[in-house]
Structure 1
């Protein structure tokens, strides 16, 4: 029976699992390596600006998640991104996209509010700044140590939610001599990931374009995604622009270790060329982020994960979900939390 559960990772899936376990007999402890929550659905603030630099919003693509966000959780500060998403290919001509009218949610205070509200509604204890290093199987329980070799306790079950490569590494370091460990690690390590370098470019003027974002559909342009944070209510003061520019895989890998000044200069130049506005070569402030494991390009064979439950080991995240999107990760976290209860 699961009375103590350790969740590794406080992203959307981990937060949703903790929420699903609220008001149950399961005592949930969450270990998160960063100072915040919501993982790659991340928010930063600079001056009067609030911006997402990973996952940009939550799509209205899952009825259960939509109901969770609009009815079960507090809705203060929940906002729609009304402007459409356009598309472009290698030639850089930006035009209407096929999903230009999809519904997109975020919060005035940033997308990390999603995980914060899920955790606030749960009974989970969240420990930030704790990087889990090893898992040890001791009889029918798991012991967790962090990267400082501090014993974080024994648990009846463990839920792993980091990106697949990091989850595979955890299993590789696990003190668990069992054939299922090797097979699980191989299945998880096979999930391919996209590397992304992101640049944030601020301007003291607002762009006059009809779209919130533009996506490169053929993956043949250096820019993969260009979004205007000023389209999100409460994020950017009137009369200003803040662009999130996520570079495609090839460019990101080739320039991953480049000096930040060169990175943002080249990102700004490519953005100006794409939009056709030379003013964009001169942002008045910038920011950047490197995502080694930005987004899975596929999902894991879920049948390959099934034997893990026999050892009180579970997995959740966008790489486990039906599709690699934030709403799917949240749905997967809810379902995994419920499965843990059912297995107890």
Structure 2
């Protein structure tokens, strides 16, 4: 059976995984995180869950809406979809049938053998898909074309109160977006503006949480101290300048792609993942291998 490795368990990686699994390949998904979804992230806490990454997924490319509507773990929300019970659950069904290797940071690719940070070796594989943010893909593949991709960072503050604040708050600088979380209680996520996040990228979480809390309190009209406060840095949060092609052929059976290949939406990541899967399938899967 054809063996495919995928580095990254976000939208692009899991889209590719699902298509290749359905085509009859053996697929192994490696990810440095313990969960799946990448920026489709949910953080649990004593006061409830926070969808502290992308609050929903959007896109209008071919097949994207059908794929989202086909997920039992997705619900329509406005002009997009949310994961159930949180954003991190959205894509879990697409892992079914794959070999999942969580908590494994791949640091090198040597002739389709993956080497992790403990120097353990995985493979060889018939093909490799690199579906991580462009700067990380550059480190793994050495492809200079990836240096032209620009991804914006975002600092996010997570806060909760015992009582309600403003129902529909307007962001106060440097905040860009404020979102009330699903479920009971008064849990809020606020994303800082990209330019502010870049200027403050290397500050500590504690300092960032305290500063962004000041703006969030002003927006919400809260007078009490929060019962929960944290911050998270998304170093590669959103695509500002894409590659301009569905994927990059790195040679020797290695492809690299993600939302950064085409644009900022989840639909762009889906399109990249599907394009990589089709390319790999056309090269490596014989007619006898393929199913469906």
Q: TM-score, normalised by structure 1?
A: 0.76
Partner of 1:297: 240
Question: Cα RMSD over matched residues?
Answer: 2.3
Contact 2:206 2:231 in 1 (8 A): no
Q: Cα offset for 1:210?
A: 4.4
Q: TM-score, normalised by structure 2?
A: 0.88
- 1:118-159 per-residue CA deviation (whole Å, 9 max, x = no partner) reads 112xx311101111111112xxxx221111111112011110
Contact 2:28 2:100 in 1 (8 A): yes
**Structure 1 position 111 matched with structure 2 position 54:** no
Structure whose CA Rg is larger: 1
Q: Which residues in structure 2 correspond to 1:216-235 (within 5 Å)?
A: 221-229=173-181, 235=182
Contact 1:50 1:109 in 2 (8 A): no
Q: Cα offset for 1:332?
A: 2.1
* 1:112/1:278 CA distance change after superposition, 3 Å: closer
Matched residues in 2 for 1:258 and 1:198: separation? 13
Contact 2:68 2:81 in 1 (8 A): no
The runs of at least 4 aligned residues of structure 1 exceeding 6 Å deviation read none
Contact 2:47 2:228 in 1 (8 A): no
Matched position secondary structure for 2:87: coil
- The equivalent position to 2:229 in structure 1, one of 269, 273, 286, is 286
Partner of 1:236: 183
Matched position secondary structure for 1:59: coil
Q: Cα offset for 1:70?
A: 1.5
Matched position secondary structure for 2:44: strand
Partner of 2:161: 203
**Number of residue-to-residue matches in the alignment:** 284
Q: Cα offset for 1:215?
A: 7.2
Matched residues in 2 for 1:28 and 1:104: separation? 28
Gaps of 5+ in 2: 285-292
Partner of 1:97: none
Contact 2:247 2:256 in 1 (8 A): no
* 1:30/1:130 CA distance change after superposition, 3 Å: same
Q: Which residues in structure 2 correspond to 1:133-282 (within 5 Å)?
A: 133-137=107-111, 142-172=112-142, 185-210=143-168, 221-229=173-181, 235-237=182-184, 240-273=185-218, 275=219, 277-279=221-223, 282=225
Matched residues in 1 for 2:221 and 2:238: separation? 30
Partner of 1:129: 103
Matched residues in 2 for 1:128 and 1:334: separation? 22
Contact 1:222 1:250 in 2 (8 A): no
* 1:241/1:267 CA distance change after superposition, 3 Å: same
Gaps of 5+ in 1: 82-101, 173-184, 230-234
Q: Cα offset for 1:336?
A: 1.9
